[in-house]
Structure 1
């Protein structure tokens, strides 16, 4: 396209991931090959949503718009795996991370051309608002030069094409802005050819046609300008049955009458006739004279202001967009204490004041310097005096003051900045009556009752922005000399601007202090808030204003929330902490969210929000905790919290296994969240365990620290359901080490046996048969002493596995039979089904296929009767093995493919690794070498991923055997 010619690569380094045109990837060694089709579509979708989670269901939809295959999720996983390898091999600074519901492509924004484009356009808009039009045009030209065609041109996906089309529209908007600015700079004579090309490519875009008409007119080509209009009108009538818009019609009339308003504006004028209707332009030239009194109440802007440029631009646009339409727009900048609301609002106000609000600016801090909110009558009195009303003429009544205020602002363009608003009742009387003025509000509260308000939720600074701010305060050289310490300080305060300014002020006042020394001071949590104070700046004081405004019950709940570690806390947990049985526990947290003490971080599987406390808020609340909550109450809250996690984990295990099977149940008290919420969360019980992994691990550790040994070992052993299915042996070991210490210190024999037995199973899971024996023997001895049947059965089952590994099948069968009897006595049908499957493995090796089939049929029937999908898959896999022993390889393949679909659907990575290995062996027997190697390679990758390195080595040995030669690397 003509607008981008000559600018490609000029001052902009090529991004490794490019989607502004056909998908291209290049790394340190040159172009990186991405297979066309599915891989191309998946990578394109991830790039368009850079640093945001893309759900697997969406990826399935973009690949298969209709009727996706049953193996769709598996194929997406394969695509992602291959893309990871391609990015890694290409030396590209980007990684694809797995999340509970999908994937996220992690990379700097400038690693993609779309991120560079977004940044350049944002900077161009900022330059234009500051009156720097020529640099703004240069920036836009650089941005448009990144385009090589339509976004993701050629990607074979209708769904993805729809998403990409939005970026094509954004590109055209940037083109239109660039053309407008060039016209305002007087470059019309050089633009005619380029605009003619643009109009030819986009004949229905009226704004581009208007730019062409103005360029022709100013170049002395009035007839051609009118001809361009008539061509556009004819096309609109023919194509759409519509007349041109009013703006284009007014422009044509102005050209026809040679209206003087079409002459090139003086450089000092900020607005262009091209960007507004002619009638508005004429009105602007006949504006009323300046009022006698022009208030200039804005506090000073901050010289070292740092913020997200996109947010600043969006707030600026929101404040000013109502002027042209005559509509009043109230713009809210919301956020927690110290997040920089007031600083951003003041910066925006100064940026807009001269150009958009020449009749003055009014300002009021509505929280008040003494912490007492300023009433609207008091604020109106100050505003009326600032507007020139003598004190004796100001009415006493609130409504009369508001009427006078609205009358004075009716025909004037004044910006009203209301800082730190406490409630909507403060704001409503201070709103102007017309849209010529603007209103900018900052608040810690949500202010949801303000009608028609535009809301901007301000977040803490990103690590890059925060480091930049620190550098502007203390000097960039100090930050560069201690880059890691600077990052540590940023992490410590969560990117909170107020905290960073305090740190910066202290370091600036003490140039002999290192950043590392400041970081060490903040390590002491008990003194952290003392360190985050300097002069009138204080994090504690800022938080106290909001905290003291909470109701007593909300303060109590907030303090107890600090007992919950982690950044994503489910909504039910608040109810557990205060033992509230409400069916809607999320409602209890709303006041804390409204006042920004809790941040909403995600949604859980039950459709409820998840929230978290920032590190600064957590420190503040921990400081208040002892004074607000007695020790006994804190202990009870912690017990209910861990009891809630225990209840949910136990329920997840039952949903997966069809009941309380293959586990030793404890006697700790549970706290049960609302049943409706539990049912929604546990629609995918294994997925829920995965998504709550961090919180569940924290609960195990909290139970150990708090002396809740029974809850500690119960929760740890219940989580084996997750560790075993998803391949987390290191977490299995970590939780059980914590639990074993807890039960040993408490003298809890039954708990010791449960943890020791589970550790024995872990060693077997790792293939460490010799190490497993002592754990299992000790556990069995204790279980026999305390009369725990389920525990005895589990230990006997695993001891049989050891004997089978040593080749003593007779001894193994005897132990399995003892285990089966105990499972029957304990009414554990799934434990019995598992043992039947293991016995079938031995009889199969003895070629006793009739007995083998009998065992497997009974085990399969049990698993189906209780809905234990993983058991069904395991039993069918045993059946596949039997068919392989019988050399019925086609039948074995059909059975194993059924198993692969089952384990893939349930997310059972361990099972998937094993079944892929089995399928490789079947295809090797059928002499399908290529297919066998493919299955083997997939199995090796999964086993490496779950840290089963011995299993991966065995798979690679099979690859070497089938190929007849060593391979440098596989998978």
Structure 2
């Protein structure tokens, strides 16, 4: 009578005086696999496993034969025709692995951990490896199977489910193939799908094997193929996330890192990394770090001895030909994308194509709704379908983005499938909506507008100033591009209107620098084509302001040019009797002179600007000019006069209120300046009495003035000798300044020097705690 394999193996191991670990080391069979065999979980290991164990145990011929016979007996089989007969499994071999496989270390570690931890009697672990086309999902899974070969001694079985074909493989056919591979007689395989699924679960319960279900279409195709409790494992690959499957582990693949991309290219091409590092990085970037594209590019180069990596980079640099160049033999990136595109609904195809018109890296659902003339919720559904199929990627909670190569493919499909008139109409509709929405959002910050008009019905929430700011910042690239489109199309009124909506929002975001210089350059040019000269002067002043914001740190030449530009506007405004525009222009000049520094000239200009603004009842610029006068007086050492100017400015803000946002800005400016003047006069305690409540206001408002108030308090406490408090305030002010990048490098270094001068904390005198 043949002994069962588990007890026989245990007795032979014990007779050889070997532990399971020692037998594993000698045979190359994993400790887990040997343990499963001895416990009867794996009853019929494969012939090569039995041979490895026999060699390690140094068995004689009779013992070898007995062990082999026990293994054969442990494999389920049938006794006659018409009955279920499971003999030696007919292995459906995995696809050929890649000799130059690179990367995916974390994913492989997780896959292997799942396989090695597969319980003997619990639910069979199921892992879904998903992601867009071309990420190497199959290659990753095949590599994991190679690493797990000894963990699953009863076989590894593979089925391509043809999930992106026009007609994916039916689950019933996949079940039939798996049951035959597992050794079931074709005549014993049930006709009904549910019965076949039951047969698969029964066979898998007795086997420690790995099922690879490649290229799954959807959850309905996969569910019948999943086994019940058992010691095996199932790995599914799909372009979809298969979110409807419960109790599975999901591994999302992403494009390669630059390092992995370079490693793969160099492994294929075998070109010395030190000679072609820059070109290799360029090729990797043009391939979007997509493994399929990298492999095709590398293969093309390797098959052309006369080419170098530079030749390849030059060919791929042509965006119109890039997808065509990423094809070799019967494999191509564009063809792979086409399989996913083919299964989309007609509406989803239209959404996919038109998203190529979005002039930014990422976008939200409302812009898709505008492009397709649909409701936002319907657009979200279409976008989620594209994400599910790997044609789009999520970017944060509610934004989306294309992979670079997929965007190219979408652009190609748009040109091929939609006439020029339809493309132009969709692009115009998108640009008009972006400019209109940006205008409404920007007006939230303007004193004469504020909230949108009562009848406004937009696609994005703009009910508060915070929502307006969030949209303007999130869609910065899109509405800027839309402004360029409108300017190029000579839509002058639209362009000028957007500029006029952005004055105060621009004042709150001076760090956008070059963006505002471009915006107000475009709006100035548009205003020049309209018939209102005063309106043109307004845009000229904003352009000078943006020029100074962008170039004030470039030295005396740029500042002198800015001052001259401002005075040109001043003289033009004077000739037209435009007091408001004169006031803004001369204050722009004053800003340049103050920075140069030419303080006497700045004091004259601020004073003149205040006179003009007061005469015109122009409160915003009156406050600006008054603050400038105070700054100039303080710079000239006339601290008492400066202190009085700041106090007067604070009184005026209370007596002649302006819009809340502007008043808040002016008030914080005046309080910060007053604290600074008191510090310059060494009136430390008075500076603290001004800055402490001001700091509380800025913290409540979330204002960027917080760092200036902390700086003032740090300097005041340092003046009083309270080094502990001084150090705390100065340190925090430096952290905020570095985070927001609002101080010049010179100013930042000066404050750091002040902090260093206080000495180390342990050297402090303890004053102030």
- How far residue 442 of structure 1 moved from its aligned partner, in angstroms, is 0.9
Aligned to 1:772: 562
2:285 to 485, 491, 494: 491
**Where do 1:510-909 residues align within 5 Å?**
510-582=304-376, 586-603=380-397, 609-642=398-431, 645-646=434-435, 649=438, 653=442, 660=449, 672-675=458-461, 678=462, 683=466, 693-695=476-478, 697-704=480-487, 712=495, 718=502, 721=505, 725=509, 727-737=511-521, 753-765=537-549, 766=552, 770-776=560-566, 779=569, 794-795=584-585, 797-798=587-588, 805-807=599-601, 812-820=606-614, 822=616, 830=620, 833-835=623-625, 837-838=627-628, 847=641, 853-860=647-654, 866=660, 868=662, 869-880=664-675, 883=678, 888-899=683-694
CA distance in 1, matches of 2:593, 2:19: 97
Aligned to 1:436: 231
Aligned to 1:507: 301
- Comparing 506-515 and 852-861, the one that deviates more: 852-861
CA distance in 2, matches of 1:702, 1:759: 19
CA distance in 1, matches of 2:103, 2:568: 61
- 1:454/1:801 CA distance change after superposition, 3 Å: closer
- 1:347/1:953 CA distance change after superposition, 3 Å: closer
- How far residue 761 of structure 1 moved from its aligned partner, in angstroms, is 1.8
- Comparing 383-392 and 552-561, the one that deviates more: 383-392
The total of aligned residue pairs comes to 684
- 1:305/1:944 CA distance change after superposition, 3 Å: closer
**Where do 1:137-156 residues align within 5 Å?**
none
- How far residue 397 of structure 1 moved from its aligned partner, in angstroms, is 3.5
Aligned to 1:375: 170
Aligned to 1:268: 27
Q: Deviations over 1:416-468 (max 9, x none)?
A: 22211112121122223443332211111121112212111111111111111
User: For the Cα contact (< 8 Å) 2:524–2:543, is it kept in 1?
Assistant: no
Q: Deviations over 1:321-373 (max 9, x none)?
A: 344343122211101011111111222233324431524514223237x6431
**Where do 1:176-575 residues align within 5 Å?**
265-266=23-24, 267-268=26-27, 270-272=29-31, 281-284=38-41, 289-290=74-75, 291-297=86-92, 298-367=94-163, 371-389=166-184, 391=186, 394-475=189-270, 477-575=271-369
Q: Deviations over 1:650-699 (max 9, x none)?
A: 566555667648xxx9x9x9993332xx458x648667756655555555
SS of the residue 2:399 aligns to? strand
- How far residue 481 of structure 1 moved from its aligned partner, in angstroms, is 2.0
CA distance in 2, matches of 1:578, 1:780: 48
SS of the residue 1:331 aligns to? strand
CA distance in 2, matches of 1:408, 1:842: 89
SS of the residue 2:40 aligns to? helix
TM-score, normalised relative to structure 2 = 0.74
- Comparing 772-781 and 920-929, the one that deviates more: 920-929
CA distance in 1, matches of 2:366, 2:476: 16
- How far residue 496 of structure 1 moved from its aligned partner, in angstroms, is 0.5
CA distance in 1, matches of 2:746, 2:238: 58
CA distance in 2, matches of 1:375, 1:285: 31
TM-score, normalised relative to structure 1 = 0.60
Aligned to 2:68: none
User: For the Cα contact (< 8 Å) 2:359–2:477, is it kept in 1?
Assistant: no
- 1:955/1:263 CA distance change after superposition, 3 Å: closer
User: For the Cα contact (< 8 Å) 2:513–2:546, is it kept in 1?
Assistant: yes
- How far residue 921 of structure 1 moved from its aligned partner, in angstroms, is 6.9
Q: CA RMSD in A?
A: 4.8
User: For the Cα contact (< 8 Å) 2:520–2:543, is it kept in 1?
Assistant: yes
CA distance in 2, matches of 1:286, 1:929: 77
- How far residue 702 of structure 1 moved from its aligned partner, in angstroms, is 4.9
Aligned to 1:126: none
CA distance in 2, matches of 1:549, 1:809: 70
CA distance in 2, matches of 1:519, 1:410: 53
- 1:778/1:295 CA distance change after superposition, 3 Å: farther
CA distance in 2, matches of 1:329, 1:861: 73
- 1:957/1:619 CA distance change after superposition, 3 Å: closer
- 1:324/1:798 CA distance change after superposition, 3 Å: same
User: For the Cα contact (< 8 Å) 2:276–2:309, is it kept in 1?
Assistant: yes
User: For the Cα contact (< 8 Å) 1:793–1:820, is it kept in 2?
Assistant: no
User: For the Cα contact (< 8 Å) 2:593–2:601, is it kept in 1?
Assistant: yes
Aligned to 1:79: none
User: For the Cα contact (< 8 Å) 1:933–1:959, is it kept in 2?
Assistant: no
SS of the residue 2:128 aligns to? strand
- 1:759/1:916 CA distance change after superposition, 3 Å: farther
CA distance in 2, matches of 1:905, 1:600: 34
User: For the Cα contact (< 8 Å) 1:703–1:712, is it kept in 2?
Assistant: yes
User: For the Cα contact (< 8 Å) 2:41–2:120, is it kept in 1?
Assistant: no
Q: Deviations over 1:30-63 (max 9, x none)?
A: xxxxxxxxxxxxxxxxxxxxxxxxxxxxxxxxxx
CA distance in 1, matches of 2:652, 2:188: 95
Bigger Rg over Cα: 2
- 1:423/1:528 CA distance change after superposition, 3 Å: same
Q: Deviations over 1:861-905 (max 9, x none)?
A: 666972554333113224435656876442123323444565677
User: For the Cα contact (< 8 Å) 2:582–2:612, is it kept in 1?
Assistant: no
- 1:751/1:464 CA distance change after superposition, 3 Å: farther
- How far residue 593 of structure 1 moved from its aligned partner, in angstroms, is 1.0
CA distance in 2, matches of 1:705, 1:494: 31
- How far residue 480 of structure 1 moved from its aligned partner, in angstroms, is 3.5
- How far residue 521 of structure 1 moved from its aligned partner, in angstroms, is 0.4
- Comparing 594-603 and 580-589, the one that deviates more: 580-589
CA distance in 1, matches of 2:481, 2:334: 27
- Comparing 727-736 and 452-461, the one that deviates more: 727-736
- 1:413/1:893 CA distance change after superposition, 3 Å: same
Q: Runs of 5+ in structure 2 lacking a partner? A: 1-12, 45-72, 76-85, 759-769
**Where do 1:81-100 residues align within 5 Å?**
none
User: For the Cα contact (< 8 Å) 1:376–1:430, is it kept in 2?
Assistant: yes
- 1:933/1:414 CA distance change after superposition, 3 Å: closer
